[in-house]
Homo-oligomer: A and B are copies of this chain.
Amino acid sequence: MKDEHRVLAFAAANRPRFIEELRAFIRFPSVSAQSKHAGDIRKCARWLANQLRHAGLDRVKVVPTEGSPVVYAEWLRAPGSPTVLIYGHYDVVPPEPLSEWKSPPFQPVVRGKDLFGRGACDDKGQLFCHVKALEALLETQRALPVNVKCLFEGEEEINSPNLATFVERNRRALSADVAVMSDTRFLAPGRPAIAYALRGKLIAELEVRGPGHELHCGNFGGAIHNPLQALCRILATLHDRQGHIAIPGFYNRVRRWSQAERNYMAHTGPSDRDILTDAGAEKAWGEPGYSEYERTTIRPALSINGVVGGYQGDGAKAVIPATAVAKLDFRLVPDQQPREIERLLRQHIACVTPPTVRSTVRILAAAPAALVDRRDRALRSAAFAYRKSFGVSPVLLRSGGTIPVTHTFQRVLGVPTVLMGFALPEDRIHAPNEKFHLPNFFRGIQTCVWFLRAVASEPKRAAFQRAQLAIP
A residues sitting closer than 8 Å to B (CB atoms) are 33-35, 93-94, 96, 157-159, 185, 199, 201, 203, 210-226, 228-229, 231-233, 235-236, 238-239, 243, 275-276, 278-281, 283-287, 292-293, 295-296, 299-322, 324, 327, 329, 331, 355-356, 364-365, 399-402, 428-433
Nearest B residue to A318 via CB reads B329
Determine the distance from Cα of A238 to Cα of B222 in the docked complex, in whole angstroms: 13
Nearest B residue to A364 via CB reads B316
Determine the distance from Cα of A376 to Cα of B319 in the docked complex, in whole angstroms: 32
Contacts of A213 in B (CB 8 A): 280, 428, 431-433
Q: Are A400 and B229 in contact (CB under 8 A)?
A: no
Q: Are A316 and B327 in contact (CB under 8 A)?
A: yes
Determine the distance from Cα of A306 to Cα of B308 in the docked complex, in whole angstroms: 8
Q: Are B281 and A316 in contact (CB under 8 A)?
A: no
Nearest B residue to A320 via CB reads B303
Q: Are B158 and A219 in contact (CB under 8 A)?
A: no
Check A310/B307 contact, CB under 8 A, given A222-B301, A223-B285, A400-B221. Answer: yes
Determine the distance from Cα of A402 to Cα of B34 in the docked complex, in whole angstroms: 40
Q: Are A219 and B296 in contact (CB under 8 A)?
A: yes
Determine the distance from Cα of A34 to Cα of B316 in the docked complex, in whole angstroms: 10
Q: Are B222 and A232 in contact (CB under 8 A)?
A: no
User: Which listed residue (B217, B305, B314) contacts A316, Cβ 8 A?
Assistant: B305
Contacts of A364 in B (CB 8 A): 315-316
A190 CB, nearest partner CB in chain B, Å? 19
Check A431/B319 contact, CB under 8 A, given A308-B312, A314-B34, A356-B283. Answer: yes
Q: Are A279 and B315 in contact (CB under 8 A)?
A: no
Contacts of A233 in B (CB 8 A): 235-236, 239
Determine the distance from Cα of A379 to Cα of B216 in the docked complex, in whole angstroms: 25
Nearest B residue to A358 via CB reads B282
18 new A-B contacts at CB < 8 Å, known A305-B320, A307-B307, A311-B327: A33-B313, A94-B313, A185-B219, A201-B218, A213-B432, A219-B400, A220-B296, A222-B301, A223-B285, A223-B295, A225-B243, A229-B235, A229-B238, A229-B303, A231-B232, A232-B236, A232-B304, A306-B310
A325 CB, nearest partner CB in chain B, Å? 10
Contacts of A287 in B (CB 8 A): 222
Determine the distance from Cα of A365 to Cα of B318 in the docked complex, in whole angstroms: 12
**Can you list 22 A-B contacts (CB < 8 A)?**
A35-B314, A93-B318, A94-B311, A159-B316, A199-B218, A212-B279, A212-B280, A213-B428, A213-B432, A219-B296, A219-B401, A220-B278, A223-B279, A223-B284, A224-B281, A225-B283, A232-B307, A303-B318, A305-B316, A310-B327, A311-B327, A318-B430
Nearest B residue to A321 via CB reads B306
Determine the distance from Cα of A159 to Cα of B278 in the docked complex, in whole angstroms: 42
User: Which listed residue (B215, B293, B429) contacts A279, Cβ 8 A?
Assistant: B215
Q: Are A229 and B225 in contact (CB under 8 A)?
A: no
Q: Are B275 and A223 in contact (CB under 8 A)?
A: yes
Contacts of A315 in B (CB 8 A): 33, 158, 364
Contacts of A319 in B (CB 8 A): 303, 305-306, 430-431
Determine the distance from Cα of A228 to Cα of B279 in the docked complex, in whole angstroms: 16
Determine the distance from Cα of A329 to Cα of B225 in the docked complex, in whole angstroms: 14
User: Which listed residue (B231, B293, B310, B355) contacts A305, Cβ 8 A?
Assistant: B310
Contacts of A226 in B (CB 8 A): 303-304
Check A217/B331 contact, CB under 8 A, given A232-B307, A300-B222, A431-B319. Answer: yes
Q: Are B232 and A232 in contact (CB under 8 A)?
A: yes
Q: Are B305 and A33 in contact (CB under 8 A)?
A: no
Contacts of A355 in B (CB 8 A): 283
Q: Are A302 and B221 in contact (CB under 8 A)?
A: yes
Determine the distance from Cα of A309 to Cα of B115 in the docked complex, in whole angstroms: 28
Contacts of A299 in B (CB 8 A): 222
Check A316/B203 contact, CB under 8 A, given A223-B285, A225-B283, A283-B225. Answer: yes
Determine the distance from Cα of A248 to Cα of B188 in the docked complex, in whole angstroms: 47
A104 CB, nearest partner CB in chain B, Å? 17
Which of A276, A295, A296 has most chain B Cβ within 10 Å?
A: A296
Q: Are B308 and A217 in contact (CB under 8 A)?
A: no
User: Which listed residue (B34, B96, B316, B399) contacts A365, Cβ 8 A?
Assistant: B316
Q: Are A400 and B432 in contact (CB under 8 A)?
A: no
Check A399/B218 contact, CB under 8 A, given A35-B314, A94-B317. Answer: yes
